[in-house]
Amino acid sequence: MSSQASAVKVTPAPAWAPKPATLARFASEVAKYPADQKQSAVMACLAVVQQELGFVSAQSEKVVAAYLDMPPIAVHEVTTFYNMYNQQSLGQYKLNVCTNLPCQLRNGQEALDHLCSRLGVEEGGTTADGMFTVQKSECLGACADAPVLLVNDRQMVSFMDNTRLDELVEMLKAQKV
């Protein structure tokens, strides 16, 4: 793999302040819980941030923490625990390949390696054109369909041998906006 095809240069995130519409969405999520349990809305508020920014920045974690009256480290722990929260700007297509044991036993690591090789990136990297980010992930809950991967945290694809991976990449390239 060439060093020039590794990852897109990541620039620091600018300071982020929520818009009134964002605060209204936060309030809507908080309203779903008893007043003394508003911290339960942390995942929903992080999802709102990600929809707005495309990822969850350190600054936005602090905003969410202040809004929910919780320690910033507690919000950061949620952000880093779940792979659905991106901590940096990613490619148009985020491809999470399961490498947990059931998928490993059915060539999950080989699927990840093939995809990285095919796209010319290391695991966790983004293609130079900004189209694809390839990441490994823990269990995606579809062990019987291994190996599996998740596209943009929304669409599960199963039985991903090299041929199916190549077809997926070509299909996504054809959908480029």
Domains parsed from the chain with CATH numbers: 20-81 (1.10.10), 93-174 (3.40.30.10)
Nearest to 106 by CA among 41, 164, 40, 167: 164
Dist. CA 51–CA 81, nearest whole Å: 18
- Phi, psi at residue 23, to the nearest 5°? -60, -35
pTM over 0.75: no
Q: What is the pLDDT of residue 86?
A: 87
Q: What is the pLDDT of residue 96?
A: 93
Nearest to 74 by CA among 103, 114, 40, 98: 40
* Residue 48, amino acid: V
Q: What is the pLDDT of residue 82?
A: 85
In tens, the pLDDT along 34-52 reads 999 999 999 999 999 998 8
Written as one string, the DSSP assignment of 50-119 is HHHHSS--HHHHHHHHHHHT--HHHHHHHHHH-TTS-SS---SEEEEEE-SHHHHHTTHHHHHHHHHHHH
Q: What is the pLDDT of residue 15?
A: 75
Q: 95: exposed, middle or buried (C-beta count within 10 Å: 0-12, 13-18, 19+)?
A: buried
- Collapsing DSSP states into helix, strand and coil, what is residue 2? coil
Dist. CA 89–CA 43, nearest whole Å: 19
Q: Pick out the chain residues at pLDDT < 50.
A: 1-8, 177
Q: Is the C-alpha dihedral spanning 165, 123, 15, 46 positive or negative?
A: positive
Mean model confidence pLDDT for the chain: 89
Q: Are 26 and 45 in contact (CB under 8 A)?
A: yes
